[in-house]
Amino acid sequence: MAKLCLYFQLHQPYRLRPFSVFELNRGLDYFALGSEQHDDNAAIFRKVAQKSYLPMLSLLLELVTIHPSFCFALSCSGVFLEQARAYQPEVIGLIQRLVDTDQVEILAESYYHSLASLYSPAEFAEQVKLHTALVEELFHFTPTVFRNTELIYANFIAEQVEQLGFAGMLTEAVDRYLGGRPRTQVFRSYTGKPLPLLLKHAQLSDDVAFRFSNKNWEEHPLTSEKYVHWLNNYYPEEYINLFMDFETFGEHQWEDTGIFEFFRHFVGRALHFDHHFVTPASVLEPLANHPKTLDSLPVYDVPDPISWADIDRDLTAWRGNSLQHDALRLVYSIEADVIKSGDRELLRDWRRVQTSDHFYYMCVKWSADGDVHKYFSPYDSPFEAYNRFSAVMVDLQDRVRLGKSK
């Protein structure tokens, strides 16, 4: 039976607090009002931890204990790990216990879940370095496989990742670049020195992540028996890459939908039918170390950036309108001056506003894509998101110009 590669993304941004032009140059925090009692980020993180992180991590720990052949990967942004350590340390403890089983892999990514790979190779490399250092500190684990923010990928990004020394990378399978080839094989990048790639199986991933509780879906209800029956249609040499947001479990799909029990039974049933769980490193590292084998893989040529977002799987979720383009311009136009300042607080705040979520909230799409964006946004409108972000950027620019810390 087919090989199953599971990976879950754990990420929470630092959301901007209400910040107006009347608060400029007063040394105020952009993300909280100075105390935990007025920190929306703390409240949100703890709420999601109770609904999703703690019960799902506990379930995963139970499953790796019961099934020694069950394995998977986690990708935890640096800003997620910061907040977990500050607001819900039990989350860190559970991930540590999972990693200690040697059945769980931690993936590399940019510390701030940023779009730096698109705008600044130097900043991208630094954020990846910071992320690896934090993962090593917390989990005594050195990532060897890379997962970019929102699975964003292009040939030029693969070149950056290869230069950073990673053994492989994960991304989205986009039909316009697959050319009719199955997404269940391992590919290689279209770069001078190729990287092996695993591509997300969007349909089977989204059946769980997005459609599981949709009563209008023709396959509802989704049972573990039905799901594994679909998996049984694949061959032993194929890789079914199930990539999804960790908050699928308990937050996007609430506990009363049966999502936790579905997952518990899915793992046991998949193993019963001889599906083999694999981690990205166990697949990609051997290929990276054998150039001849790597050269024989099919090429995934992606000249224009892709992602796992929205129907078109492109970047319009983050830079599809003038609001987003202006916000991104403001951020990266001050990069050289921020770095030159040597101001640690200024650098931290500048990196926190790089987090991709800030630009996602400014998306003005409509229809099904728009509904998803509205669900995830803390703002009443994309224009409110842009106005608040712009006020923060004015203050950041003044700090750069005046050379002031908070």
The set of catalytic residues is 150
- Structure token pair of residue 169: 């990378």
Mark whether 277 and 206 lie in a shared domain.
yes
CA distance 135 to 376: 27
Could you tell me if residue 368 is inside a domain? yes
- Mark whether 269 and 369 lie in a shared domain: no
Residues 337 and 246 in one domain: no
Domain boundary (300, 333, 355) is at 300
CATH at residue 193: 3.20.110.20
> Is 241 part of a structural domain of the chain?
yes
Q: Does residue 293 sit in the same domain as residue 393? A: no
* CA distance linking residue 400 with residue 145, whole number of Å: 35
252 with 391, same domain: the answer is no
Same structural domain, 332 and 247: no
One domain, residues 265 and 329: no
Cβ-proximal residues to 368 (8 Å cutoff; 6+ apart), any chain: 311
pLDDT in tens, 278-295: 999 999 999 999 999 999
Residue 296 lies in a domain: yes
Q: For the chain, give percent helix, strand, coil, nearest 5.
A: 50, 15, 35
Domain count, the chain: 2
Contacts of 232 (CB under 8 A, 6+ apart): 1, 273
pTM of the model: 0.95
279 and 379 in a single domain? The answer is no
Q: Do 145 and 46 fall within a single domain?
A: yes
Residue 35 belongs to some domain of the structure? yes
* 305 lies in some domain: no
Distance CA 191, CA 67 (A): 39
- Radius of gyration from C-alpha coordinates of the chain: 21
Q: Is residue 306 part of a domain?
A: no
Q: Which of 300, 327, 347 is the last residue of a domain?
A: 300
142 lies in a domain? yes
Same domain, 50 and 141: yes
Separation of first and last alpha carbons in the chain? 58
Asked if residue 40 belongs to a domain, the reply is: yes
Q: Domain check: are 346 and 213 in the same one?
A: no
- Interval 283-332: pLDDT, tens: 999 999 999 999 999 999 999 999 999 899 999 999 999 999 999 999 99
Residues spanned by the domain of 236: 3-300
- Per-residue pLDDT tens, the chain, 406 aa: give them: 899 999 999 999 999 999 888 788 888 899 985 555 568 899 999 999 999 999 999 999 999 999 999 999 999 999 999 999 999 999 999 999 999 999 999 999 999 999 999 999 999 999 999 999 999 999 999 999 999 999 999 999 999 999 999 999 999 999 999 999 999 999 999 999 999 999 999 999 999 999 999 999 999 999 999 999 999 999 999 999 999 999 999 999 999 999 999 999 999 999 999 999 999 999 999 999 999 999 999 999 999 999 999 899 999 999 999 999 999 999 999 999 999 999 999 999 999 999 999 999 999 976 454 455 455 688 999 999 999 999 999 999 999 998 765 5
* Residue where one domain finishes, among candidates 251, 272, 300: 300
Same domain for 203 and 345, yes or no, is no
